[in-house]
A and B are shown apart, each in its own frame.
Chain A
Amino acid sequence: MDNKVRDNLLVSSSPHIVTGVDTQKTMAAVLLALAPSFLVSIYVFGARVILLTLVCMAASMFFEWAWNRLMHKEQTVMDLSAALTGVLIAFNVPSNLPLWIAILGCFVAIVVVKQLYGGIGKNLVNPAITARVVLFISFATQMTTWPLPLTPSNADVTTGATPLGVLAEGGAELPSNMQCFLGVIGGSMGEVSAIALIIGGIFLIYKKIISPIIPACFIGTVFVFALVYYSIAGVPEVAGDMSVLGMAIFHIMAGGVMLGAFFMATDYVTSPLLPRGKVIFGIGCGLITMIIRLFGAYPEGVSFSILLMNIMTPLIDNYALKMEIKKQAKKGGAK
């Protein structure tokens, strides 16, 4: 105890405490939510999954670190956003993709899409989705050579069409909805298991990391669109004796809908802020996905739909903000 006066105290504006959840912890939570799908992918596609994921994560973090270093910017690699982008790139490509192509994708995502636009928080479109689209167009063969699940009968990885590929082009038997639900199907590395992605998504919603609005509107739109379409057009021959309802369930579980709806479309930076905007965004993603799947040249449309809606986001945000101002003005009148 002393009687010394302390007169050089720190003065700052309130509040003087903050939550422990910062950007790094937020990104870490999303990484954790991807873990169930990661484990299923290892089971389905083998050890290459681990290698591909680690390489993408390391490459993305390296590009982020190197860019900040070269540009004399504050180092942001530890906020884990680049790590998350890397993991999402790995999840969005076939597990047998040559590593150099995957690394090129990481370069596109981190340097071209993210850093050239100003780094975290400033990018217009989702880096991982854009990288996938760039690779898909540039390396059409490698990006559509889908490994099939490891099963006792084919111990060596063989390749074949994805469920959506079968639906669009035929040539094989459509897998059952249970196979899609569990994930023993062909497809991008991390998108195959609907149940694993749903578990991760529910974790993020429970932890209030993401709002359920975008996933609900996205998945709901795909489901309703498929119901209506197959009611009118009838169930195609390749689907065998699947019902219309079965086809709608098939559409939400096959391809990238679950991964896209829970983990890609909910990217804060490139999706609308206000609930009203999120509804428009989610429905838009669902509509574009189904239009491409059913009427487009490609069997799958999730990444194109999210990319297009990313570009729409500033417009949607602007509209939602104006509606919010109008609503509040009508409600209270007070400013």
Chain B
Amino acid sequence: MSQKHLNSVKTGHFKNTAGCATEIMPIPDVVKISMSQHIGAPCKPLVAKGDYVTVGQLIGDTDAFVSAPIHSSVSGTVTAIEEQRSASGGRDTLVVIETDKKQEPCADVKPPQAEDLAGFVKAIRESGLVGLGGASFPTHIKFNPKNLDEVKTLIVNAAECEPFITSDHRLMLEDAEDLIAGMELVMKYIGLDHGYIGIEENKPDAIAHLDQLIAEKGLADKMETFTLQARYPKGAERVLVYEITGKTMNAGVLPADLGIILSNVTTIAFVGKYFRTGMPLVEKRVTIDGDAVARPTNVIAPLGTMIGDIINFCGGYKEEPKKILMGGPMMGRAIYSDAMPLVKNNNAILAFSSKQAYIPEETACINCGRCHSVCPFNLIPTALADAYDAKDAQKLSDLRVMQCMECGSCSYICPARRPLAFINKLGKGVVKEAGIK
């Protein structure tokens, strides 16, 4: 156990919706289900216009190794297969379904049975589960480490260090049974000795609730909560591993290489729920907040629901939105339109009016060094920016630009409002282009 901490930054928490119990959103008239809800190859639609689909029915899949299948979140009729520009700038294939609001479950939906790790991994793949904390890496690959004998520790990432977001917090209060069950399953099949749930200290109710549940179930010798500082970015994978185990994890290293399976709390809770109900990943709990939203709260909505429809369920826009984010304000992605569907790794939708969504104006660097003092990996963003201006790939590499995880702490703290994290992102491109290892 480590008492040392990596550098971090104290952001405002803005956990306005922490007390908002999750509401189930009524089924919308139309959903548009993306075929690319994971890192890796997009799925191909398995349905065509006019087909009738049911809840949990497989509607997209591929043979590619890194991918996860897609299921229908509603019952209804496929009215179109269409393309849309995705938030990241690529093209997305969407299966458009007009719902009949009956929510007929698919006949294939039944709780899975798994004899061994292979059966468990197969069931996880069939559930369509991906990393729900934001990375959307297919979970069945993560749960099947090459060095199985060396992997002994489970770390559940419940830090939720992004401002505004409370969906993981609500999950721990509302679905803690599924979380503990999911941890037991993962530990049993992969053969892990001990599980940690890393939670920031600003969620004492969740910590107390989980501690109590673990004690009640007599699991105290197998799993425990681990209290983290309520600072950003304690929920970043490499930071969390260091805080809990004291092991330094460089970019490009997998937690499994250090003997750890690390998953987001919602991902693990889904495992518990899936083995209880057999229903694949078809809905998601998201925090809806931001000063443009009339009634900020937490919502469970079917995947593929339009962002605009979810916000309308939350009372609509109180003020005209200027910027809408998928995810938190530190690492979330700004989307160009609210006519985009909810996808698996969404954990928040934040709509900001022009007041909260201003673009800071960049002024001259005053060399204060705060960017360096907050970087979890001790990078020197000002020097990196100079090297990027000179397009000096070797210097960028020497200054370890590839270690940057773009957490945004440097940009956040900069009094001159320089987009330092974004410059690092561009700097990585320069290094990759130059082919420096």
Is the beta-carbon distance between A273 and B380 smaller than 8 angstroms? yes
Q: Is B383 an interface residue (CB 8 A)?
A: yes
Distance A121 CA – B364 CA, assembled complex (angstroms): 6
Distance A65 CA – B270 CA, assembled complex (angstroms): 60
State the Cβ distance, B422 to closest chain A Cβ, in Å. 4
Can you list the 6 inter-chain pairs with the closest CB atoms, starting with the nearest? A1-B316, A15-B408, A121-B364, A7-B337, A334-B250, A13-B422
Which chain B residues (324-362) contact chain A, with CB distance < 8 Å?
324-325, 329-339, 350, 352, 357, 359-360
Distance A35 CA – B72 CA, assembled complex (angstroms): 66
Q: Is A153 an interface residue (CB 8 A)?
A: no
Q: Is A6 an interface residue (CB 8 A)?
A: yes
Q: Which of A19-27, A55-63, A142-150 contacts B (4 or more CB under 8 A)?
A: A19-27
Is the beta-carbon distance between B335 and A1 smaller than 8 angstroms? no
| Binary CB contact string for chain A from 301 to 315 against chain B (1 if under 8 A, 0 otherwise) | 000000000000000
State the Cβ distance, B17 to closest chain A Cβ, in Å. 16
State the Cβ distance, A327 to closest chain B Cβ, in Å. 9
Is the beta-carbon distance between A335 and B400 smaller than 8 angstroms? yes
Q: Is B398 an interface residue (CB 8 A)?
A: yes
Which chain A residues (96-142) contact chain B, with CB distance < 8 Å?
119-122
Distance A274 CA – B380 CA, assembled complex (angstroms): 9
**Which partner residue on chain B sits nearest A273 by CB separation?**
B369
State the Cβ distance, B6 to closest chain A Cβ, in Å. 13
Whether A7 contacts B372 in the complex (CB less than 8 A), given A15-B330, A15-B408, A335-B403, comes out as no
Q: Is A50 an interface residue (CB 8 A)?
A: no
Q: Is A154 an interface residue (CB 8 A)?
A: no
Name 20 extra pairs, CB < 8 A, besides A17-B330, A18-B360, A332-B250. A1-B294, A6-B308, A6-B320, A6-B321, A7-B336, A9-B323, A14-B333, A14-B406, A16-B323, A17-B12, A18-B414, A26-B366, A120-B363, A121-B365, A274-B380, A328-B378, A329-B398, A335-B397, A335-B398, A335-B436
Interface residues of B (CB under 8 A from A): 9, 11-12, 163, 248, 250-253, 294, 308, 312, 315-317, 320-325, 329-339, 350, 352, 357, 359-360, 363-370, 372, 378, 380, 382-383, 397-400, 402-403, 406, 408, 411-417, 419, 421-422, 425, 436-437
Distance A22 CA – B324 CA, assembled complex (angstroms): 25
Whether A325 contacts B399 in the complex (CB less than 8 A), given A16-B332, A268-B367, A274-B380, comes out as yes
Distance A7 CA – B307 CA, assembled complex (angstroms): 12
Distance A79 CA – B365 CA, assembled complex (angstroms): 12
Set of chain B residues within 8 Å of A208, measured between Cβ atoms:
370
Is the beta-carbon distance between A15 and B364 smaller than 8 angstroms? no
**Which partner residue on chain A sits nearest B322 by CB separation?**
A10
State the Cβ distance, A224 to closest chain B Cβ, in Å. 26
Distance A271 CA – B366 CA, assembled complex (angstroms): 10
Q: What are 14 A-B contacts defined by CB distance under 8 Å?
A: A1-B317, A2-B316, A6-B338, A7-B337, A9-B334, A10-B323, A13-B425, A14-B421, A22-B363, A26-B366, A328-B400, A334-B251, A335-B397, A335-B402
Distance A328 CA – B377 CA, assembled complex (angstroms): 10
Set of chain B residues within 8 Å of A10, measured between Cβ atoms:
322-323, 334, 357, 359
Set of chain B residues within 8 Å of A14, measured between Cβ atoms:
329-334, 406, 408, 411, 421-422
Distance A121 CA – B363 CA, assembled complex (angstroms): 9
Set of chain A residues within 8 Å of B338, measured between Cβ atoms:
5-7, 9
Whether A9 contacts B369 in the complex (CB less than 8 A), given A15-B330, A17-B11, comes out as no
Distance A191 CA – B397 CA, assembled complex (angstroms): 45
Is the beta-carbon distance between B408 and A1 smaller than 8 angstroms? no
Set of chain B residues within 8 Å of A268, measured between Cβ atoms:
366-369
Q: Is A321 an interface residue (CB 8 A)?
A: yes
Set of chain A residues within 8 Å of B416, measured between Cβ atoms:
22-23, 121
Set of chain B residues within 8 Å of A119, measured between Cβ atoms:
364
Is the beta-carbon distance between A16 and B316 smaller than 8 angstroms? no
Whether A5 contacts B308 in the complex (CB less than 8 A), given A13-B421, A119-B364, comes out as yes
Q: Is A173 an interface residue (CB 8 A)?
A: no
